[in-house]
Amino acid sequence: MMAQHYRGIIEQALRDYDPSLTEAQKEALSWIGLNSADIMAWQNLTQTERQTITSTIQNIQNTFENGCD
């Protein structure tokens, strides 16, 4: 429940900060840290959902020369 709550806050902050981000990008960015911690919310996603989020994060990181970690 905490992960869902804070992900929502992060997504809203990203919406306010950069309206050009797609919904998929905002959602993926909200998972950074939670995915590597392998928390229950991450484990509860389907393999396809996890792969999509991971791929989106990698695409965002590759877009910026300095990484965007």
For 1-69, where are the E strands, in sequence order?
none
Q: Where along the chain do its domains lie? A: 2-63
The residue that leads in pLDDT, 60 or 52, is 52
Element (H or E) spanning 10, and its range?
Answer: helix 2-17
Is the pTM higher than 0.85? The answer reads no
CB 39 within 8 A of CB 3: yes
The residue that leads in pLDDT, 33 or 44, is 44
The 10s digit of each residue's pLDDT in 15-39 is 899 888 999 999 999 998 888 887 8
Tell me the three state secondary structure of residue 16: helix
What are the C-alpha distances in Å from 33 to residues 19, 20, 27, 63? 22, 22, 13, 19
